[in-house]
Structure 1
Amino acid sequence: MDPMARHDTLMFFMACLVWTTCSAAPTQCHFNSQALCEYDGKQYSMGESWMEQGCVQCTCLHPVGVGCCETVHRPVDFPPWCEVRVESLTCQVMLVMTSDPRLPCIPGEDNNVDPRHGALNMKLEG
C-alpha cells in the first residue's frame, strides 16, 4: 500500500474514533497495528468488518492493522440499585435491578427510592 493510501486509511479510522467518542453515548475503540485481519479462522481483506465476541466490531485496515469499537452504548446516569446488562448474542442493553436482575430498573420520579429499603412503591413526604 502506498504511503498516501496508508495515511488516508489512518485518517479515516481516527475520524471514526473521534465521532464515536464524541457521540451522545460513550463507546470504546482501540487500534492494533500488530493485529492480523483474521478472526475465528477467517481471513479478511482491506475494509472488511466482522463482529467479535462482546459486541465489538472490527475493521481490517491492512497493512496498517485492525481497528475495533464497541457497538454497545451503555447508559451512564442511573440509580445505584440498578445495573447494566448486555445480551451477548443480540448486543441489547438492559437496565435491571441489582437485587433481582430478572426485573427491569426504570429510573424516574415514581421509582426514585432504593428498593433494598423496602419502599419501592412508597412516595416520600416532604
Structure 2
Amino acid sequence: MAGQWMMILIGVSLWTTCSAAPTECHFNSQALCEYEGKHYLLGQSWMEKGCIQCTCLHPFGVGCCETVQQPVDFPPWCQVRVESVTCKVILVLTSDPRLPCIPGDENNVDPSHGDMNVKLAG
C-alpha cells in the first residue's frame, strides 16, 4: 500500500513540475538529489542546463522534465533559438540570427533571395 502512495506522489510531482510545458520527462531511480555541488531535499526543484527542470524524489530518485516546447512547423529559412537564461524559444532568420523570423502567409518568401514582396499590378 505504501508503494502505491509513493508511485502516486512521484507521478503528481512529475506532472506538477512539467505541467507548464507538456514535453518529455524522465525518472532516474539511481540519481542523487544534487546538482552543481548543491544538495536538494524531497520536493525541491532545480533547473539544469538545457532548460531541464528536475525535482528531488528522495529516496526514490530524481524526476526531470524539459521545460521548452520546440516548434515543429516553421519555414526552412527560420531556425529555433533557445535563450539559455530564460528558456524562451524564438524563431530567427537562418541568414541573420539577430533578426526574428515571423512565419505566415504574408512572410512566405525566403529572405535570402532578397525582397520578393513586390506586388504586380494585374
Quickly name the TM-score band, shorter chain normalised.
Answer: 0.7 to 0.9
| Deviation at residue 13 of structure 1 after TM alignment | 4.6
The Cα offsets for residues 43-83 of structure 1, whole Å up to 9 and x where unpaired, read as 11111101111111100111111011111122221111101
Matched, 1:68 2:44: no
Alignment pair present for 1:52 and 2:48: yes
Calculate percent identity across the aligned residue pairs: 66
Mark the runs of 5 or more structure 2 residues left unpaired by the alignment. none
CA distance in 2, matches of 1:58, 1:110: 41
Inter-partner Cα distance in structure 2 for 1:66 and 1:123: 57
Match of 2:8 in 1: 8
Q: 1:123 to 1:49 in 2, by over 3 A?
A: farther
Aligned to 1:100: 96
Distance 2:22 2:118 in 1: 34
Partner of 1:112 in structure 2?
A: 108
For each residue in 1:22-52, what CA deviation from the matched residue of structure 2 results, as whole angstroms up to 9, or x when unmatched?
Answer: x8x6522111111000111111111110111
> How many residues matched?
120
Q: Structure 2: how far apart are the matches of 1:116 and 1:54?
A: 30
Q: In the alignment, is the contact (CA less than 8 A) between 2:46 and 2:55 conserved in 1?
A: yes
How large is the Cα RMSD of the aligned pairs? 2.6
Query: What SS does the corresponding residue of 1:30 show, helix, strand or coil?
Result: strand
1:81 equivalent in structure 2? 77
Return the alpha-carbon distance in structure 1 between the equivalents of residues 37 and 120 of structure 2: 58
Distance in 1 separating the partners of 2:116 and 2:27: 45
Is this contact kept in 2: 1:50–1:58, CA < 8 A?
yes
TM-score normalised by L of structure 2: 0.82
Give me the TM-score of the superposition, normalised by structure 1.
Answer: 0.80
Distance in structure 2 (CA, Å) of the matches to 1:31 and 1:116: 43
1:9 CA displacement: 2.2
* Structure 1, unpaired ranges of 5+: none
